[in-house]
Amino acid sequence: MKYYSTNHQAPDASLQEAVVKGLASDKGLYMPHVIKALPQSFYDNIENLSFQEIAYQVADAFFGEDVPADTLKQIVYDTLSFDVPAVKVKENIYSLELFHGPTLAFKDVGGRFMARLLGYFIKKEGQKQVNVLVATSGDTGSAVANGFLGVEGIHVYVLYPKGKVSEIQEKQFTTLGQNITAIEVDGTFDDCQALVKNAFMDAELNAHMKLTSANSINVARFLPQAFYYFYAYAQMKKAGKADNLVICVPSGNFGNITAGLFGKRMGLPVKRFIAANNQNDIFYQYLQTAKYNPRPSVATIANAMDVGDPSNFARVLALYENSHEAICAEISGATYTDEQIRETVKAAYQETGYLLDPHGACGYRALEEGLSEDEVGVFLETAHPAKFLDTVEAIIGDKVEIPAKLQEFMKGTKQSIEMPKDFESFKAYLLKE
């Protein structure tokens, strides 16, 4: 399948080119020319299929033309070695728990899939070394670093904003060593993302080393996130709750919700989506005004959503042919302050016993406030609450049990390279590598 750039100034690319390049030469994001609808028979029987079986069908629609069936099946099955259960929180509101993977965050799915697909392409091309640049506001770094750890022929550079990710998140990508380098940038997530984008556009750097990205700008990172929307629907259908299904997505860089919108375009019977923002509510404002006004991000307790210029907004526009009306017909928005997030975590815990992380809290509250009586809502619980230990414990006034996987990370020694936010410093560092 061919992929086009959202800026329409770069030549079409094959899947392999799109995955290895990450970003198109005109700074646009790659989009598939065709989004294949899945047959009705698939939806009729979906509740009887496993997560892996569902995901393989979806992956085949995206990647089947470009990757041999046995290879693709292996990639999917290896990626999804954990469950993503839909857990009832209260009547007609369910949590899709995306934190059962190795780093306890939703990005494990995309990170693990991309690592395996890129590894396949590198072997196929006979390349010696590909360098992955990834900016993170928290969970992307750990998911990508752990997904690529020890993968032959790939070196990962994780750029993250100094002092703006939780200690546990930081430990998950700064303690690994091997083929993972953590770069601590004196700035915001947007500064980290700008460094990555500028690196791709720099001719001297690209002549020096082979670069790609593992942010949700990469099609191999964001598209696999569609898998769990289909699985959520399957679980709700099995429970007899799939009619009038509303899915609420805590939204930062918008890769996650974009994958869900792709699912809907493929025939997934979701009535509508809600994009839940923290105070970085650029998309919410767009829905209200039809004007997109990016601005510097502000720090919140839902830090993985602290994005002031969401990269994947370009894909949302492309999907709906720049129609504000069409976007508003399928997506509504919500925005919450830190204080409202705290209120929600505390109230949900006291009323239901269910512990939300700050991002999931935005999703849960949006459903509480926005569901009609005949609708059932699923929100994405994007990371385990223990990843935000100090914040969550302070809110609920109680201890949070730290899963064994996280405890192991906490034992490691932090290794990072401090870096100013100017591109010349970053470029000079990479040229020495």
Phi then psi for residue 128, to 5 deg, are: -85, -45
Average pLDDT over residues 356-367: 98
Residue 337 lies inside a defined structural domain of this protein: yes
Give the CATH number of the domain where residue 390 resides. 3.40.50.1100
The answer to whether 138 touches 304, Cβ cutoff 8 Å, is yes
Position 47 scores a pLDDT of: 98
Distance CA(379)–CA(311), nearest Å, equals 22
| DSSP at 4 | E
Average pLDDT rounded to a whole number, residues 243-265: 95
8 Å CB contact between 135 and 201: no
Cβ(22)–Cβ(213) under 8 Å?
yes
Indicate which residue of 107, 171, 237, 264 is catalytic: 107
For residue 255, give both structure tokens.
Answer: 């890769």
Mean pLDDT of 58-75: 97
42 falls in which pLDDT band (50, 70, 90)? Answer: very high
Q: Are 225 and 251 in contact (CB under 8 A)?
A: no
> Could you report the per-residue pLDDT of 179-236, keeping only the tens digit for each?
999 999 999 988 998 999 899 889 999 999 999 888 778 999 999 999 999 999 999 9
* Model pLDDT, residue 231: 98
379 located within any domain = yes
Residue 363 lies in a domain: yes
- Determine, yes or no, domain membership for 208: no
Mean pLDDT for 95-123 is 92
Q: Is 210 a catalytic residue?
A: no
Burial 155-185 (b: 16+ CB within 10 A, else e): bbbbbbbbebbbebbbbbbbbbeebbbbbbb
Using the predicted structure, report yes or no on whether residue 347 has a pLDDT greater than 90: yes
Residue among 164, 106, 113, 109 at smallest CA distance from 135? 164
Distances (CA, A) of 430 to 86, 174, 175: 43, 18, 21
Q: Are 185 and 191 in contact (CB under 8 A)?
A: yes
pLDDT of residue 216: 79
Express as a percent the part of the chain with pLDDT over 90.
82
Note whether 114 and 220 are within 8 A (CB): yes
Mean pLDDT of all residues in 76-103:
96
Our count of domains for the chain comes to 1
- The mean pLDDT value for 317-337 works out to 97
Is 200 inside a domain boundary? no
Record the tokens describing residue 319, joined without a space: 């999907």
Contact 380, 363 (CB under 8 A): yes
Residue 280 belongs to some domain of the structure: yes
Residue 223 DSSP one-character state: G
- Note the pLDDT of residue 165: 87
- Asked if 158 contacts 265 with a C-beta cutoff of 8 angstroms, the reply is no
115-170 pLDDT, tens per residue?
999 989 888 887 778 899 999 877 788 888 999 998 888 999 999 999 988 888 89
Is the separation of the CB atoms in 414 and 176 below 8 Å? no
pLDDT band for position 287 (cuts 50, 70, 90): very high
Domain, as residue range, for 339: 83-105+222-400
Q: Is residue 97 part of a domain?
A: yes
Cα 129 from chain centroid?
25
Task: Report yes or no on 368 lying in a domain.
Answer: yes
Residue with more model confidence, 171 or 169: 171
